[in-house]
Each structure stands twice: as C-alpha cells, then as structure tokens.
C-alpha cells in the first residue's frame, strides 16, 4: 500500500468532532468544540463552544518521530577516499578482523562507513517511515589501534586491546569531526542540512563519562588519553599513567578523576567546572551544527547533578530540546531517576521493555500478557512513560534472534504502543540476528546488501506499520488504554484529544500462524471507523468484529471526541497518573 494512499484515506476518514460537555472541566484550559444551534422561533444560528477534557500521553514534540539507529562506520561506504586505509603505522586501524572457531568473523577496525553513505540512503530510510536518524558519535578519535588493555578476541567482551575508535565513543576532541566520516563539502553541518531537506532530524550521540583509553599502553600512543579544545589546543593528557598516579599538581591531569571506571577509559571529572564547560559548550556547538536531539551514552556513570546542570544550560538556549539516554539496567525504578525534573528530565532507552519484547517475540509460544508489566501505563516510576525510547536490540547487546515473523510481530507492537520507536540498522532484514558485539552484531552492511534486502518481508511489513504510525497522531502521542493482552492476541486503544486533534485508534495484533477472530465490545464508541492498512470501514454501534491475518495488525480509527463513557473514564483514569 502506498503511503500517499494511506494519507488520502486518513484525511477522507476525518469526521466532524462530537460535542462533549463535562462536569467540572475548566473551559479556559481545555480544548473546545464548536456546535451550531438553530433557533426554531427566531430562525437564527448561534455557535456554542463546549469544553472537553484533554487526553494525551505526551505533548513532547519529538514523540512524533521514529528513529533509525546507524553505527556510521558499519553502514555504507559512500566515499572511499576518506577510509584512511594506511593509517596507524605499527598499530593499523583499517579492517581488523576477528575470526571465530567456526570461521565466523567480526571486526574492530574501520570499515569505511561515512556521512555520504548515510545520505546516499536517506530515501531507503525514510521509505520505512523513519523521520530521525541517530548516528554514533561523530567526534575525532585516535588514529591508531589501542595497544594497551586486554586483547579482544572473537566473541569477547569488556576488552579494548587491539580495537580502534571506529564507533566514535573514544573522543580526543569534542569539537571536531572524525576524518573517516567527512568528505569535501560534507561536514556534520552539511550533513544535517541535507537531512533537513528530507524532513529528517539528526540525533547526535554524546558522551560525558569518558574520553579514550588512557593507560596500560607499552608506549604512550598519540591521541590516547588526550583531549583538545575547539582551537586544537591540548587541555588534558593522561600521559599513559594509571589513575592512581595522576597528580593534582599537573594541570593536564585536572580533567580526570583519580580513580578508574570503565576499563582503561579516561574517567572525566564531572565536578570540575572546566570539564563541565568543555563538555556542555561542545554539546551546544553541535546543536548549532544542526543536531535536533541527543542520545546520551553511559549516563549512569555520571552523577545526576551534572545532568541537571547540563540540561538546564542546554534548554536555557534551546527550550524543549529532547534528550534520551542509555542507562543500561533492567530495573525500571533505577533508570526512571534520570527522567525526573530534579535530575534533568532526560528520557531513557526502555531497557526493561527491550528485555520483555525480545522474550516475547523470539519465542512463538510466548504470551502477549508478558508485555504488561513494563508498560507502566498507570502506575510507574517514570516522569512520563510515553517519552521513553523503545527498542528490542542495539549495538551493545545480542541482536534479537527471532524468525522473520517474530521481527514483523515486534515491529507491529513497537510502532503501535507507547514510546518513541528505535530500530537498529539491518534489523529491517534480520541482519546478523542473534549475534553479540564482537560476534557479528556490528558487521559492515554495505550498499550491495541494502539493495539486495530492499524487498525483504521484514522490511515490507515495517514500511506498512511505521508509515501508519507516521500518519496517526494517536499512535505518536496518545494515551494507551488496555483492552486485552492474552496468548497470541493483543488489543488496546490509543486516544488523543486536544484542540487540534481528536482521534481514537483501536489496535489489534495477531502473532500466531492462523487467522484470529476479534470481538471488541468494551469501550467501543459508535461511529464510522476506518481500518488504516486495508481502507475498510465499519459503521459501529457498540461492537467491532473482525479477523486479523497471521502475524498481522489492524488499526481502526475514529476521528472524533471521546464520548463513550467507559472509554472516557479509562482515559481520564490514565491521565490522572501522568
């Protein structure tokens, strides 16, 4: 189904808003609907404005987006002239293969992906309904492979010996792009401006916890443990010393804590005002270059007080700037602390949700009910659960090991439930499914593979459901009202009622291999509903009956105010917990 046809159907489906008078509503702060009344005695027409309650999951503007996550070096090589294949001397950096016992390979060197490779495939990405692209850090990294630490091997973890900064997380200059990413006429600023021409937002990955690996090298390698400012001047240097050997009398050591944190990475001193200024001013610089949102790496390794200072300074200049973070923990109560206003009100990647989603969609015999607990639709620790970024895998964990149908089911769930969906590059065709970071998870994709996989059934299903979400405000910002999650079937409402939008969506999901009947007779509002994938319509009084095909989804929409008493009560109950 073409997106243009979907858009046309949705517009045709829009009905005039129904009037709802609510006892106790404040007409000065609530949206209003206008009803015309004709007097039988005077034959005059008057307009009456009636308040109805606002019903929404979030008013966060970024909730309208869906993100495609790119490890830039491992996506597509658009400009081979920036590959730096001879860089590193005795510690080369390009194409450093790790080989497993079974002949499988991973790689810890640079592989050639760059800004041009992403831009060459913007249409490929936007066709899937994505409106934002999150890139790994774009900052300058050391020009050699790290000779210290423990040597990484195929399938290994938490070892940095022999690796390069291809991923971007080992910054030596927080104000400078890495030479592997840029091309003539294509800086990060040029890149973000090009994305904007496609109505795509640029999401920048930032770090505050650490710089590069900084000690245990046989010799002090250039770049490692060093930090340079916007003018290219050296401002900090670990000098290949262990953290306990750093001196308070050496100004080049002032940027670092004198205790270790993550392996041999420099541990930046977040309490140092100079460090705070260095980092926060760099973030402001990249916003000026066109970053529309931030993903924050390793947020739990830096105290809340820093993030409050950082968030306040960012939003002083850029109000409502959206940020979300990696707090790699499956305890909702723990990661939710980052979302609280007192701690900077930074959203988080929903790791408890990731765990539940993979458990359900990797296992055909699983039960939709297993997804109930992580949603926290009415009771939960988050500042606003609707602002969380939702996902099922990424570059730091094992890729989801599901069948094609499992991926399709996962996407149908992810793009209709609460939160802002994120899909990791290659997942649209099950790339390297089931593999961990150094066992193939981050393997290079390349243009040939993208072209070959354009019509993969996982991608075709994703195109359909992601573009449905892109067109429906209720799926982006609406409340999620549970109906039933049981066995292979899921049903729930999404409700959005504001001055600009009045929309009710009923989502029906089937993750089984057979057609499943649905009889929905709870909270059903009378009216003419339209199913968004097929274009079918139903004139409903109090019940919707339909069949959903195997591994299918239906999204029924009614563009009216909520008047059905039970649905209204459930929505107002959900609003009470926001």
Tens of pLDDT, residue by residue over 432-473, are 999 999 999 999 999 999 999 999 999 999 999 999 999 999
pLDDT, average across residues 324-350: 98
Give the total residue count for the chain.
Answer: 578
pLDDT band at 339 (very low <50, low <70, confident <90, very high): very high
Residue 400: the pLDDT is 98
Given a cut of 60, is residue 13 above it in pLDDT? no
Q: Which fold has domain 62-474?
A: TIM Barrel (3.20.20)
pLDDT, average across residues 517-531: 98
Mean confidence (pLDDT) of the chain: 92
Residue 30: the pLDDT is 57
Of residues 100 and 52, more confidence is placed in 100
Hey, how many other C-beta atoms are within 10 angstroms of the C-beta on 14? Answer: 14
* Cβ-based neighbours of 72, under 8 Å, separated by 6 or more: 113, 114, 115, 117, 118, 135, 136, 138, 168, 181
Hey, how many other C-beta atoms are within 10 angstroms of the C-beta on 521? Answer: 9
How does pLDDT run across 350-378, given as a tens digit for each residue? Answer: 999 999 999 999 999 999 999 999 999 99
pLDDT, average across residues 163-174: 98
Domain chopping of the chain, boundaries: 62-474
Percent of the chain scoring above 90 in pLDDT = 90
How does pLDDT run across 215-265, given as a tens digit for each residue? Answer: 999 999 999 999 999 999 999 999 999 999 999 999 999 999 999 999 999
How does pLDDT run across 39-89, given as a tens digit for each residue? Answer: 333 344 444 455 789 999 999 999 999 999 999 999 999 999 999 999 999
- Indicate whether this model's pTM tops 0.75: yes
CB 63 within 8 Å of CB 477: yes
Residue 18: the pLDDT is 31
CB 498 within 8 Å of CB 54: yes
Residue 307: the pLDDT is 98
């Amino acid at each position: 189904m073409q997106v243009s046809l979907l858009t046309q159907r949705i517009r045709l489906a829009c009905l005039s808003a129904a009037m709802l008078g609510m006892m106790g509503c404040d007409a000065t702060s609530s949206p209003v609907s206008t009803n015309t009344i004709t007097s039988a005695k005077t034959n005059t027409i008057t307009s009456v404005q009636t308040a109805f309650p606002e019903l929404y999951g979030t008013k966060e503007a970024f909730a309208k987006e869906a993100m495609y996550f790119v490890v830039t070096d491992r996506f597509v090589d658009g400009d081979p002239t920036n590959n730096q294949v001879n860089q590193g001397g005795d510690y080369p950096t390009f194409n450093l293969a790790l080989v497993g016992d079974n002949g499988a390979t991973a790689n810890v060197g640079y592989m050639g992906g760059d800004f041009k490779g992403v831009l060459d495939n913007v249409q490929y990405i936007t066709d899937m309904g994505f409106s934002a692209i999150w890139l790994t850090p774009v900052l300058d990294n050391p020009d050699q492979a790290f000779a210290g630490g423990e040597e990484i091997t195929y399938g290994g973890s938490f070892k940095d010996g022999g690796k390069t900064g291809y991923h971007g997380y080992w910054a030596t200059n927080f104000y400078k792009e890495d030479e592997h990413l840029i091309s003539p006429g294509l800086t990060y600023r040029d890149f973000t401006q090009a994305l904007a021409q496609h109505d795509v937002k640029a999401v920048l990955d930032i770090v505050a916890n650490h710089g590069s690996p900084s000690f245990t090298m046989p010799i002090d390698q250039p770049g490692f443990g060093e930090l340079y400012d916007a003018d290219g001047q050296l401002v900090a240097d670990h000098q290949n010393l262990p953290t306990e050997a750093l001196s308070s009398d050496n100004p080049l050591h002032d940027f670092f804590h004198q205790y270790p944190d993550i392996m041999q990475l420099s541990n930046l001193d977040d309490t140092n005002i100079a460090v705070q200024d260095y980092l926060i001013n760099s973030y402001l610089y990249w916003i000026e270059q066109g970053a529309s949102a931030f993903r924050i790496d390793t947020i739990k390794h830096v105290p809340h007080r820093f993030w409050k200072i950082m968030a306040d300074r960012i939003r002083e200049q850029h109000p409502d700037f959206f940020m979300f973070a990696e707090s790699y923990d499956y305890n909702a109560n723990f990661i939710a602390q980052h979302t609280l206003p007192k701690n900077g009100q930074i959203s988080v990647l929903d790791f408890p949700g990731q765990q539940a989603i993979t458990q359900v969609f990797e296992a055909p015999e699983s039960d939709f009910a297993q997804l109930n607990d992580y949603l926290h639709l009415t009771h939960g620790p988050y500042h606003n659960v609707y602002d969380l970024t939702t996902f099922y895998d990424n570059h730091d964990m094992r890729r989801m090991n599901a069948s094609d149908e499992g991926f399709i089911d996962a996407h149908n769930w992810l793009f209709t439930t609460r939160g802002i969906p994120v899909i990791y590059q290659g997942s649209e065709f099950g790339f390297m499914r089931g593999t961990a970071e150094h066992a193939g998870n981050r393997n290079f994709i390349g243009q040939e593979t993208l072209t070959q996989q354009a019509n993969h059934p996982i991608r075709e299903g994703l195109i359909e459901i992601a573009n449905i979400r892109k067109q429906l405000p209720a799926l982006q910002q609406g409340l999620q009202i549970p109906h039933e999650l049981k066995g292979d079937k899921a049903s729930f409402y999404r409700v959005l009622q504001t001055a600009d939008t009045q929309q009710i969506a009923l989502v029906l999901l089937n993750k089984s291999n057979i057609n499943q009947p649905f009889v929905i007779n709870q909270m059903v509002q009378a009216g003419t509903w339209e199913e968004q994938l097929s274009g079918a319509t139903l004139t409903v009084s109090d019940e919707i009956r339909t069949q959903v095909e195997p591994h299918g989804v239906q999204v029924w929409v009614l563009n009216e105010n909520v008047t059905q008493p039970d649905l209204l009560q459930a929505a107002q109950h959900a609003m009470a917990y926001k």
